Structure 1
């Protein structure tokens, strides 16, 4: 964490005798996305947002666009919903086709950029999924890994039924603090807030949300994203030089998705050499030949690629 984030989080420990108050954090997040505060709900990470949506909404036909982060579907199923899937194809680069989503879907969940494919779907393509009578949930947990957030719909107030879920745990390394937020129409926010446990977001988390909503935070995130793009290009060049590795789609986030025969064994071999990569077979639409690889600095990537070359 940069000092401008770490210092207020540490200082907030002196205020733990009081119950958390979302007012300042909501106002800061609202300003960040040009929305009124009543269209913002702070949550204990994006995971709580998905659970709240699953428990409060009553869709007749929810559809999750896959491959993507599995928690939204898991939350829907845990709440008793029967979930359909719209599977994007590797042959198409995992690019979103709005026609792949059934017209009857009254709840659609999509990640952008999508985890694990790293594909960034254009904002207008995402917007094409919105319509009256449908709730469109866009998971933008990795949106700030792209400089300028060109595909974000977080500030769109003209799209009916739009819900945007954001996380502060990725770029800022706050997974243990549990902080994120949800943007939606005021009536939706009111219903979700009524289902949220009292004081469910801690004071340090709220302080972090406020700090991460400043212009300084946006400039810092953009600088990180620009460096990430260079580091990702270096990783992709190294992976594409290996004939037994196939990269699908255009990677835009902090990880890349690859396909290779014997990925399960390769993952175990990498583990034995001190490297951890994410298995792909737990994502709907993928199988045992897929791996997600995180983007790191060039020195780390070169060491990883050197190990990789020795294993095949």
Structure 2
């Protein structure tokens, strides 16, 4: 069990792209390229005529509920999944919160900001960063895990995660990247048989809406009510509500499903290309199931800087608890971009090895 604070929990991938204003090819941020699509931009723009009225989230909330086969009392719309972590940290009375790392750092940051002492369970590289339920303390009354996990790209079995449920425990599963997994086979969203389950979803990644801030929580009605009381009035803007409603429609779900298959194909191309660098000491966490891969390589910090000089931004790994400065996270991109990146990586590795 670890409780140290030796990581920059507020560092996120966007900092890799905007640090010096350089025009970089972005492999640091896990938002799908070419988004939002034109039809979605038009739906958002169409909501601008209603800005004089206060937001009414009923239609969007009903659309999310219908998409997951749930009553509306189990749905809470939020200003991105990040807001949900803050609400959970502030609204729930917990004694021993545990965050399973490596994972997205915002849940722990929000808990610490709310005054909680947070315990960490660090999954191990030698286990492929897979979940070992026996390592979760029995008295943990809040457990947070990502699935598929950012940054490891590990997809944990739904049954394994559900096995963490206990009376009196809130089990938070961050499924921000689940819609990028073809068929969502390990999703817990929509389940009502797991006590204490809270599932978070984001529309940021697949639909390119990071600047709009829209996500949602799926949980027991009592939990939703507590979180809603902790929200400010009208927390989700009218354009964001329009986007949420649009992204729940059948044609949007079909487009997202198609994108998930394309991501899987592009990821396989990236993994195959990266496997050519094993003689340079590069190791991948496999199997990768999200729209990104995690790689360990010698001189990773120097490689990252050389890649910037060559026009590519990648995500440093040392800000994630459980990882060190020899890790990089790479977002999946199209074949042409990946091919250019692999050429740059070859050059960066050569430069780093001769420093």
Q: TM-score range by the shorter chain?
A: over 0.9
Bigger RCO of structures 1 and 2 (CA < 8 A, at least 6 apart): 2
Residue 182 of structure 1: how far off its partner (Å):
0.5
**What's the counterpart of residue 267 of structure 1?**
304
2:41 aligns to what?
6
What is the rounded CA distance, in whole Å, between the counterparts of 1:79 and 1:218 in structure 2?
Answer: 36
Q: State the secondary structure of the residue aligned to 1:113.
A: coil
- CA distance in 2: counterparts of 1:19 and 1:62, whole angstroms: 36
Q: What are the superposed Cα offsets for residues 97-146 of structure 1, whole Å, 9 maximum, x if unpaired?
A: 11121111110000000000011111111111112110000000001010
How far did residue 2 of structure 1 move?
A: 2.5
CA distance in 2, matches of 1:247, 1:53: 33
Q: Deviations over 1:22-54 (max 9, x none)?
A: 100110000011110011110000110000000
CA contact (8 A) 1:47 1:71 kept: yes
1:209 paired residue number: 244
State the partner residue of 2:187.
152
Partner of 1:183 in structure 2?
218
- Answer yes or no: is 1:116 the counterpart of 2:151: yes
Specify the alignment match of 1:17 in structure 2: 52
TM normalised by structure 1 equals 0.99
Runs of 4+ in 1 over 4 A off after TM superposition: none
Q: Deviations over 1:187-223 (max 9, x none)?
A: 1111111110001100000111111112212111110
Structure 2: gaps (5+ residues): 1-35, 351-355
1:3: Cα distance to partner?
3.5
Tell me what 2:332 maps to: 295
In 1: Cα distance, 2:344 partner to 2:310 partner: 8
User: Which residue of 1 is the match for residue 291 of structure 2?
Assistant: 254
Give the 5 Å matches for 1:230-241. 230-241=265-276
Q: Which residue of 2 aligns with 1:88?
A: 123
What SS does the corresponding residue of 2:200 show, helix, strand or coil?
strand
CA contact (8 A) 1:4 1:211 kept: no
Cα offsets for 1:29-85 (capped at 9, x unmatched):
000111100111100001100000000011111000000000000000000000001
Tell me how far apart the structure 1 counterparts of residues 123 and 305 of structure 2 sit (CA, whole Å): 28
Q: Is the 8 A contact 2:92 2:226 kept in 1?
A: no
Q: What runs of 5+ residues in structure 1 fail to find an aligned partner? A: none
Q: 1:27 aligns with which of 62, 86, 91?
A: 62
- 1:220 aligns with 255
1:208 match: secondary structure: helix
Q: Distance in 1 between matches of 2:288 and 2:214?
A: 26
Does the aligned pair in 2 maintain the 1:92–1:249 contact within 8 Å?
A: no
Local SS of the residue matching 2:61: helix
- Are the equivalent residues in 2 in contact too, given 1:164–1:182 (CA < 8 A)? yes
Q: How large is the Cα RMSD of the aligned pairs?
A: 0.8
